[in-house]
């Protein structure tokens, strides 16, 4: 299969590119500043926030291969902090990368797959796209947007032969933690005394989380499935349980449980 993956410099993207290439697929991956290159993977320099670069990346794959069988929207970033102290610029940037980055690629990928009469779109959301996470509100909002967009897209493409799958990872040990941009204003810490402890808890969960290679193995299996599920929560048992509890508990009870976990 011809597979295009966004954001293969590190973390999930790198692990997926390695695994899918090892599986025998022809893998293309976008990057902004890759330094270590995976043998057998074709790298395309493209920023997901740049319309022209996104279009050029898709066209490069088509000009070489004539088709795209699987598109994996993985590129993303996180901004942490109390929403009150998160700047409008940060809010725009968070959505531009995580949500609009996906929208830009799908704008050019969907027509290709629809004309082919087949294809698979795999978009990365998060458990944070299923529940609003305190002090990660901008990130959660961007992932909620992915959930809604893909739910609508799935129905629109229902009879086209194109499958739409959403991946909802929990905490993983990747460079995402170190690269997260956080609000550092002392006034934010004064106004929200729980912020520092909550952020420390979040970072501990991430740095001690599952390895990206585990997720890459799951994606490898999903790519091979004839009829994949609509979505996959890929996480520890405890985090999968939290998703179930979110669905079945009264909203105020679940919010109380989550607030306690984050020391609010």
Q: What is the DSSP letter of 174?
A: S
* Bridge partner list, 71: 4, 121
93 is catalytic: no
Cα separation, 255 vs 261, in Å, equals: 10
> Which tokens go with 136?
């990660």
Handedness of CA 223, 225, 230, 234 (dihedral sign): negative
- Residue 134, φ and ψ in degrees, nearest 5: -60, 140
Query: Smallest Cα–Cα separation from 202: which of 109, 264, 148?
Result: 264
Under a CB-based contact definition with an 8 Å cutoff, are residues 49 and 100 in contact?
Answer: yes
Per annotation, catalytic residue among 28, 139, 195, 232: 139
Cα separation, 209 vs 171, in Å, equals: 5
E strand intervals along 34-161:
42-45, 70-73, 79-80, 119-124
Cα separation, 162 vs 175, in Å, equals: 32
Catalytic residues: 139
């Amino acid at each position: 299969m011809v597979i295009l993956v966004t954001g293969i410099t590190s973390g999930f993207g790198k692990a997926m590119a390695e695994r899918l290439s090892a599986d025998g697929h022809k893998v293309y991956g976008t990057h902004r500043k890759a330094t270590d290159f995976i043998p057998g993977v074709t790298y395309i320099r493209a920023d997901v926030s740049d319309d022209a670069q996104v279009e050029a990346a898709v066209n490069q794959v088509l000009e070489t291969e004539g088709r795209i069988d699987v598109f994996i929207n993985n590129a993303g970033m996180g901004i942490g902090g109390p929403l009150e102290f998160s700047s409008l610029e940060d809010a725009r940037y968070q959505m531009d990368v995580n949500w609009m980055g996906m929208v830009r690629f799908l704008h050019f990928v969907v027509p290709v797959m629809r004309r082919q009469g087949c294809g698979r779109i795999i978009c990365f959301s998060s458990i944070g796209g299923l529940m609003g996470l305190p002090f990660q509100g901008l990130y959660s909002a961007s992932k909620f947007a992915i959930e809604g967009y893909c739910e609508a897209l799935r129905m629109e493409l229902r009879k086209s032969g194109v499958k739409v799958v959403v991946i909802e990872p929990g905490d993983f040990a990747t460079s995402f933690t170190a690269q997260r941009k956080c609000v550092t204003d002392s006034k934010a810490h004064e106004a929200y005394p729980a912020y520092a402890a909550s952020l420390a808890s979040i970072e501990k969960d991430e740095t001690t989380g599952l390895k990206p290679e585990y997720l890459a193995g799951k994606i490898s299996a999903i790519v091979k499935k004839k009829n994949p599920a609509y979505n996959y929560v890929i996480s520890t048992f405890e985090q999968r349980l939290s998703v179930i509890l979110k669905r079945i508990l009264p909203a105020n009870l679940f919010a109380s449980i989550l607030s306690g976990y984050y020391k609010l």
